[in-house]
Structure 1
Amino acid sequence: MTKRDFPKIHFYDQDFVDIYDKTWAWIQDCWLSGGEKSRLDGKFFAYPGNSAVLQTDAIFSSFFLVYSNRIYQAHPTLDLFYSRQEPNGAIRCAYNIETGLPEVSKNNPEGLGLPLFAWAEFNLYHKTANKKRIKEVIPILHKYMEWIDSLFKRPNGLYEVPLAATGMDNAPREKAAYPVDFNTIMAINVLYMSALADILNDKETSFQYKRQYFSLKTRINSLMWDPEEGFYCDINKEEKRLPVKTLAGYWPLLAEIPNDDKAERIIEKLSDPRFFGAPHPFPTVAVSEPDFDENGNGYRGSVFPHLTFMVIKGLERYQRWDLARDFAIRHLYFVLDSMSPDGNHHKGNLWEAYLPLKEGPAQKKRDPSFPRPQYLSYAALSTICLTIENIIGLFISLPRKTVDWIIPNLEVMGVENLSLKKNMITILSNKSGRGWEIHMESEKLYYFTINILGKKKKTLPIPSGKCSMLIDKL
């Protein structure tokens, strides 16, 4: 294979393969450069209709761009934010494309974004094995966290931030002073900072971050968990829990905050039609809430792919692979069926947000610009990342030299020519006269774990070159 190309996927539903291929073609339109007066150097990933490049887009896009075989780099957009760090540690959530200056709003005057950089960097490391980069970003992220602490951390150990900082701008959470999502994201951030420090073998730093993580975890469990409702809630200024159930209550899964009993109670609600078990997973507000809107109305019931992605990644933390996969497949069918009204999957758009109870893009009162078409920073998480990781079921770590294939049962599927640094790998399963066979091709040795859920799990060293294995013989 001489020409650099995107990895190919194989799946029994050709529509999934088509939309995966199309997404890569569309991503080309999201590579922008700064204006004449702008100091934004080089190319970066942003929505073509936006006036600014956004922190959330930089972070979420890195999760699918790592699969582009380096045709599109995942790190330059993140670096654009790091390079604008102010002396006090501030990194703002948006920078104007024309001027390169921060864009802030009156309901978020500090331009605070979701501090998920460490999560993105940890994922990048496992897909690129670039240790040098971690050395460079840790001091930047550390200063950034000190800035957040200095402005938003209160004596109770939690963060009091404007609702606009959570990105869920019109969600029915007006009284929230300490949002459950932002506080949990701070816990996720220190958890991954600790993991990044471990990669550099810096035990002392890793321990400091772990300590911060446990202190946040304790506070979230004691103040935000509602034992009657079995759910994590925002709290108001008086530290009273607010009863509204929103998808923000699922971030704790990703932070591994609930114990198994608590996790079970919130995971059950994902399949319960009274809560988040809508036909299209997952509405931003529980269906039984008085503020739930079946037209979506922004964050009052719409399905946003980046939040569905977050919930699915949270399910993985609790080894709920089967459930994660079912939800990912169902979500993708709705994404496909919403592309065009006449059921033609070959024309139409991917959307920023979807209806919760039937197919189609969400709507918002008096806002015809919502949802944005081809909003790939969110949608490509579904059509590329969830497709590779949760539907086909491949999890790859370059530094560990491991590929895990986690599937509920054998189907004709796989990935071809996925570049892992300088190693191209192909893993495909199909049925031959001799039973189920997995064909592999690779340039270097790696360790392959096949996990057919509830049936068999086996790890084998895969030599370079071509080989195949019969599943029945494992």
Structure 2
Amino acid sequence: MEMKLSNIEKHHLLPRGMYFNKKSYEDVPLLSFEEARSSLPKPIYEQRPDYLECYWKAWEIAYRNLHVPTEESGFVSNFIDAAFNQDVFLWDTVFITMFCNLANPYIPGIRSLDNFYCKQFDDGEIPREMVRETGKDFLPWVNYDRMPLHSYFHNHYGHRKLFQTAKPAFEEMFQPNLGRTVGVPPYLTLDNLNHPIMAWAELESFKHTGDVARLELVYEPNLRYYDALKYHLQNHFGLYVTDWASMDNNPRNRYLGSGVDISCEMVLLARNLIDIAKVLIDHCVSRGDNEQAAIYASQIEELEEEASQLTETINRMMWNDEVGFYFDVQDSGEQTSVKTIAAFWSLLAGVATKEQAEKLAHWLNDPATFNRVHRVPVCAADEEGYDPRGGYWRGSVWAPTNTMVIRGLENYGYDDLAREIALNHLNNVVQVFKDTDTIWENYPPDSIDSGNADKTDFVGWSGIAPILYLIEHAIGIKGDARSNELIWQLTPGQGTIGCDRYWFAGKTLNLLATPQGDGSYRIVVSSDAPITLKVKLDNNEVVHEIMGSFEFII
């Protein structure tokens, strides 16, 4: 007698990963921290030994969270895990890759995303949470009965249930929220379809590695993911729906709605795909593949039109000119009034005009809202429900959202403010590390301690501050593999600083800046391959082509 499969069993048998051209496990052996340490970048900061202690502690914790996938999981690459629970998370993994880029050959950072691409469905959906050992989707987020789009979180998530009164659009189905008919229901619930930011992570990695082959590998999965979210999540306003979007208990959630974060992230994804396609066009032309180059060019044209249209809609419906801020939009089409960090995705996505960016930067400098003792809280301090002790997503400071804000500010030329926020976060993380001997998942905005956070040794995304911010913002070193250029921004009064074994674009450099007593620095640098070095100090800028050892004064 033929056995009848349940819907859950049928779901587990669905074909996956058809757009990702890596079908089985392949990777290099994992290194332990002790084995890798002599190859990892070695920062030098004579005045701040506490920076260095926290830096090495962060790497040590990160190496505890490396995994070779089980055969059962079907994962195809070694990976680093957030160590949040027994699952792997897309959102967490994206941000972990950003500090792992600095040690790309020695740790499975960006390759960790392979295990999400290889689980992509035929319609392009990619789950944001999977069980680490089995590779199966986190079951509550699976739409195994193929109902119209809906949110499990708002219906069943116990102590995190957010609504004081009934909200039929959430308590029943999300599809009425769309205001349009979707013929084929999604494989996943809305809880599992948010934060399309993998292409951003891929471009961050590419800037550091110059690995065009990886862009070729990940372009189609990200394009199909874009199409899936456009089909399932875009509503009749032309915006994108969300429920809690990884901001579990944020005060905004009771009004969602169309999310300013997911809507801006879709613009970001479109523009990331455009940037990747442009790189791939050059690569195709160089090898004489004009046919594929023409396909990419056609996709660019379509993506540019859609990004432009969505940008116009966001600015028309979500920007409040009187307040000078972006807000989520309720089902009625009215804006909410809750100021959250979600608005700053508009900077990263290039949605904001120059004038709008200036107003957003003003909010980041406002002590009554986002410029707290520890920057930047995820909810403005003057909002009802703000928790000065953190309260998870009611006010905490998180490395991922800070990184989004910093990169967004850099897009608009607010480099000084970006660095100020990065150093504030770095200094506070390091101080709390000195006080508690650990690195926390999140931090309170109004005091320099661990607040009411409960997850320790969280590296995890919290490695961003002691690793990435230290090298890129405190020491001031940032490589750009696309132009084969290393930029070193020095700051007067730092003392002796530098970095040995700085790796990018397949090159390894040693860099040392020693103050000379007259405000100048002696720069000693060595590189094992040709590189353009640009050093900046105050209003001075010196550019040298480096191969081997070289020294100069600036």
Normalising by structure 2, what TM-score? Answer: 0.78
Question: 2:148 corresponds to which residue?
Answer: none
Question: 1:367 corresponds to which residue?
Answer: none
Letter in 1 for 2:504: L
- Report deviation, 1:332: 1.6
CA shift in 2, pair 1:433/1:466, >3 Å = farther
Question: 2:121 corresponds to which residue?
Answer: 86
Question: 2:63 corresponds to which residue?
Answer: 28
Deviates more, 1:32-41 or 1:229-238: 32-41
Question: 1:326 corresponds to which residue?
Answer: 420
Question: 1:349 corresponds to which residue?
Answer: 438
Q: Is 2:40 the partner of 1:6?
A: yes
- Gaps (5+ residues) in structure 1? 364-369
Question: 2:523 corresponds to which residue?
Answer: 438
Contact 1:427 1:439 in 2 (8 A): yes
- Report deviation, 1:171: 0.4
Letter in 2 for 1:448: L
Question: 1:157 corresponds to which residue?
Answer: 238
Question: 1:335 corresponds to which residue?
Answer: 429
- Identity %, equivalent residues: 25
Question: 1:268 corresponds to which residue?
Answer: 362
Question: 2:465 corresponds to which residue?
Answer: 382
Question: 1:366 corresponds to which residue?
Answer: none
Q: What secondary structure, in the 3-state scheme, does the structure 2 residue paired with 1:445 have?
A: strand
- Report deviation, 1:375: 1.8
Contact 1:31 1:45 in 2 (8 A): yes
| Count of residues in Structure 1 that have an aligned counterpart in Structure 2 | 455
- Report deviation, 1:131: 1.0
Q: What secondary structure, in the 3-state scheme, does the structure 2 residue paired with 1:199 have?
A: helix
- Gaps (5+ residues) in structure 2? 1-35, 142-151, 154-187, 282-295
More helix by share: 2
Letter in 2 for 1:45: I
Distance, in Å, in 1 between the alignment partners of 2:394 and 2:317 is 24
Question: 2:351 corresponds to which residue?
Answer: 257
Question: 2:227 corresponds to which residue?
Answer: 146
Distance, in Å, in 1 between the alignment partners of 2:83 and 2:389 is 26
Distance, in Å, in 1 between the alignment partners of 2:357 and 2:492 is 25
Contact 2:65 2:80 in 1 (8 A): yes
Q: Is 2:206 the partner of 1:172?
A: no
Contact 2:77 2:115 in 1 (8 A): no
Contact 2:397 2:445 in 1 (8 A): yes
Letter in 2 for 1:286: A
Question: 2:136 corresponds to which residue?
Answer: 101
- Report deviation, 1:461: 3.7
Distance, in Å, in 2 between the alignment partners of 1:81 and 1:245 is 32
- Report deviation, 1:433: 6.5
Q: How does 1:419-430 map to 2 (within 5 A)?
A: 419-430=503-514
Deviates more, 1:385-394 or 1:202-211: 202-211
Q: What secondary structure, in the 3-state scheme, does the structure 2 residue paired with 1:140 have?
A: helix
Q: How does 1:51-450 map to 2 (within 5 A)?
A: 51-103=86-138, 104-105=140-141, 106-107=152-153, 109-110=189-190, 111-163=192-244, 166-173=245-252, 174-201=254-281, 202-339=296-433, 344=434, 348-363=437-452, 370-409=453-492, 411=494, 412-432=496-516, 435-450=520-535
Distance, in Å, in 2 between the alignment partners of 1:33 and 1:424 is 27
Letter in 2 for 1:297: G
Letter in 2 for 1:186: M
Distance, in Å, in 2 between the alignment partners of 1:135 and 1:305 is 29
Q: What secondary structure, in the 3-state scheme, does the structure 2 residue paired with 1:23 have?
A: helix
Distance, in Å, in 2 between the alignment partners of 1:329 and 1:90 is 37
- Report deviation, 1:36: 6.7
Distance, in Å, in 1 between the alignment partners of 2:503 and 2:398 is 29
Distance, in Å, in 2 between the alignment partners of 1:115 and 1:407 is 35
- Report deviation, 1:21: 1.5
CA shift in 2, pair 1:351/1:400, >3 Å = same
Distance, in Å, in 2 between the alignment partners of 1:351 and 1:433 is 39
Letter in 2 for 1:413: I
Letter in 1 for 2:444: L
CA offsets 1:276-324 (integer angstroms, 9 cap, x no match): 0110001111111121111211111111121112111112112222222
Letter in 2 for 1:337: Q
Distance, in Å, in 1 between the alignment partners of 2:44 and 2:350 is 32
CA shift in 2, pair 1:207/1:447, >3 Å = farther
Deviates more, 1:276-285 or 1:103-112: 103-112
CA shift in 2, pair 1:148/1:44, >3 Å = same
Q: What secondary structure, in the 3-state scheme, does the structure 2 residue paired with 1:101 have?
A: coil
Contact 2:513 2:523 in 1 (8 A): yes
Contact 1:351 1:374 in 2 (8 A): yes
- CA RMSD, Structure 1 to Structure 2 (Å): 2.0
Letter in 2 for 1:428: L
CA offsets 1:186-243 (integer angstroms, 9 cap, x no match): 1111111100001012433223222222112111111111111111111101221111
CA shift in 2, pair 1:308/1:433, >3 Å = closer
- Report deviation, 1:60: 0.8
Please tell me whether Structure 1 or Structure 2 has the larger radius of gyration of its CA atoms: 2
- Report deviation, 1:35: 5.0
CA offsets 1:302-358 (integer angstroms, 9 cap, x no match): 11121112111112112222222222222122112223xxxx45x521111111111
Q: What secondary structure, in the 3-state scheme, does the structure 1 residue paired with 2:58 have?
A: helix
Letter in 1 for 2:443: Y
Letter in 2 for 1:438: I
- Report deviation, 1:410: 6.1
Letter in 1 for 2:240: Y
Distance, in Å, in 2 between the alignment partners of 1:306 and 1:101 is 25
